[in-house]
Amino acid sequence: MKKIVSIVMVLVMIFALAGCSSAPAPADKSADTKTEDKVAPKEESVVIYQNKVEIGEQLSAFAAKYEAQTGVKVTVKTSGGDTPYAENLKAEFQSDRQPDIFVIEGKGGYNTWKSKLTPFSGDKWMDLTDLAFKADGKTYGFPVAVEAWGMAYNADLLAKAGIDPSTLTSQDAYKAAFKKLDGMKKELGIKSVVAMAAGPDMRWVTGLHNFNGYLSAGLPYGDTSVLDKMLKGQPDMERLKEYADWVELLFKYSDKAVLLTGNYDAQVGQFATGKAVFVHQGNWIDPWLMSNGVKFPMGFAPHASVYGEHNAIFIGAPSYYVINNESKNIQAAKDFLNYMATSEEGANYMVKEAKMVPAFKNITLKPDAPLSADVMKWLAKDNGAYTWLQNDMPDGFGMGTIAPIYEAFAKGDITKQEFIDQLADKIRALK
């Protein structure tokens, strides 16, 4: 009897200890949504449900101004940060508080919400941007803001070395420049040429951002041919080979410690302290640089991910406002978005208040952060952008499946040829 009791006790203990960690519980849907207004939408009023906590207040202030001018009430509801927006949005739709405008994040969001969306047509803002979200030939998403990445450079150090950043448009140009900079390490006071990270904490840099070069560099904006082939399990071997040269070049001229075990602070810090000339990051490092008092002039040069000339950086809109097709106020919602994109107040809100890089060509206000200001320059150029396709890859493919291959290559565990073969294998496994 005692034996049975003790076995039961052991079982109970295992249940209690293992049960809680082994079964992934579905996320709690009791939304801790910050509902600011529970009044049902009246006629000519717009409810916008958005996910950027950082801009919630600014957007509300802008909406209040809009109401003062037009008499149309715009209610801003915000969830995000620690609360899962996607889950809360589902709850919102199951209740009778459906928003008129909500946010999707690229293809994945589109596939989930397809049945609820209404396309834009004939709206003024559509002519002012190349970054709208399009699917099946229709425009569904209004780009909230722009983010971009390239090879961010320290202009002072390049000038000292006598290198003009505008010449960095091909792998050969980079090769020559890296070699020259590497030879001048002492004079420039740098530790390595590139601040690059491929370690376990930084898999988004390699598996998503760097790999995006394979998917879209050198192609016209919106060209998804390489991605489409990849999703069918077909690697483009020639392109992979060219791409591997680029990865090899970046790894060769970066600091081993930062490359293999560095985190975000180590990587960006190396650039910010002038210990590296280039950093493989995007304009989202602006707040980090500004709060650390980094003053030197900087800008973006293109990624020469494949052979040929490159005159564009990766520019994309990570999230989009979309319109609920069951909304009673579709026109009012569209008017509000048009106003945001075309009016002076809208420009002021996006650039000065919310500190975003707007996706619209008509806006001339400049962000006060250095890299974001440079993104505006690239955005204004003709064909200055390559597409963001890394978010259209299958879940976990970039950071989970292929990023460890980069790390193994960086450590020297595999050769360049093996790197290419491994990537090709993983792509073939996608079909």
Partner 1 sequence: MGKKLKSKMFFWLFLAPALLSFIIVVVIPFFMGIYYSLTDWTAIAGIKPNWVGINNYKNMFKDIAFQYSFIRTFVFTLLSVMTINFVALMLAFLVTREIKFKNFYRAGFFVPNLIGGLVLGYVWQFIFKSVIPQIGDVLGIDFLSNLLLLADPTLTLFGLIFAFTWQYAGYIMMIYIAALLNVPQELIEASEVDGANFFQKFWNITFPMIAQAFTITSFLTLVNSFKQFDIIIALTNGGPSDIYKEQIVNSTELLAVHIYNVAFKYNNMAEGQARAIIFFLVLSVVSMAQVYYNKKREVEM
Q: Which residue carries 């609360």 as its tokens?
A: 83
Calpha distance 383→372 (Å, rounded): 18
Q: Residues 69, 233, 413, 415: which binds partner 1 (CB under 8 A)?
A: 413
**Which residues are CB-contacts of 89 (< 8 A; sequence separation ≥ 6)?**
49, 79, 102
Which of 76, 393 has the CB closer to partner 1?
A: 393
Which of 19, 308 has the CB closer to partner 1?
A: 19
Which of 175, 191 has the CB closer to partner 1?
A: 191
The reply to whether 408 sits near partner 1 by the rule CB under 8 A is yes
Number of residues that bind partner 1 (CB under 8 A): 44
The reply to whether 10 sits near partner 1 by the rule CB under 8 A is yes
Which of 12, 380 has the CB closer to partner 1?
A: 12
Q: Residues 5, 16, 39, 40: which binds partner 1 (CB under 8 A)?
A: 16
The reply to whether 395 sits near partner 1 by the rule CB under 8 A is yes
The reply to whether 95 sits near partner 1 by the rule CB under 8 A is no
DSSP secondary structure letter of residue 39: S
- Looking at 35-43, 63-71, 212-220, 398-406, which segment touches partner 1 (CB under 8 A)? 398-406
**Which residues are CB-contacts of 23 (< 8 A; sequence separation ≥ 6)?**
none
The reply to whether 97 sits near partner 1 by the rule CB under 8 A is no
Strand residues in 133-282 grouped as ranges (E)? 133-135, 138-143, 147-154, 192-195, 276-282
Taken in order 416, 260, 264, 187, the sign of the CA dihedral is negative
Calpha distance 130→59 (Å, rounded): 23
Which of 132, 402 has the CB closer to partner 1?
A: 402
Calpha distance 199→16 (Å, rounded): 35
Which of 12, 159 has the CB closer to partner 1?
A: 12
The reply to whether 200 sits near partner 1 by the rule CB under 8 A is yes
Which of 34, 426 has the CB closer to partner 1?
A: 426
Which of 294, 399 has the CB closer to partner 1?
A: 399
Which of 12, 237 has the CB closer to partner 1?
A: 12
The reply to whether 365 sits near partner 1 by the rule CB under 8 A is no
**Long-range Cβ pairs for the range 348-352 (8 Å, 24+):** 349/58, 349/59, 349/61, 349/62, 350/145
Calpha distance 269→423 (Å, rounded): 30
Structure tokens at 250: 């970046």
Q: What x-and-dash track marks residues 19-38 binding partner 1 by CB under 8 A?
A: xxxxxxxxx-x---------
The secondary structure of the chain in percent helix, strand, coil, rounded to multiples of 5, reads 50, 15, 35
The angle, 0 to 180 degrees and rounded to 10, between the axes of the packed helices 237-252 and 403-411 is: 50
Q: Which residue carries 């390559």 as its tokens?
A: 386
- Looking at 218-226, 296-304, 336-344, 411-419, which segment touches partner 1 (CB under 8 A)? 411-419
Q: What b/e readout covers 157-186, taking b as 16+ CB neighbours within 10 angstroms?
A: bbeebebebeebbbbebbbebbeebbebee
The reply to whether 429 sits near partner 1 by the rule CB under 8 A is no
Rg over alpha carbons for the chain, rounded to the nearest Å, is: 24
The reply to whether 89 sits near partner 1 by the rule CB under 8 A is no
- Nearest distance from C-beta of residue 424 to partner 1, angstroms: 13
The reply to whether 252 sits near partner 1 by the rule CB under 8 A is no
The reply to whether 274 sits near partner 1 by the rule CB under 8 A is no
Contacting positions for partner 1 (CB under 8 A): 6-7, 10-27, 29, 90, 94, 112, 199-201, 256-257, 260-261, 266, 395-396, 399-400, 404-405, 407-408, 411, 413-414, 422
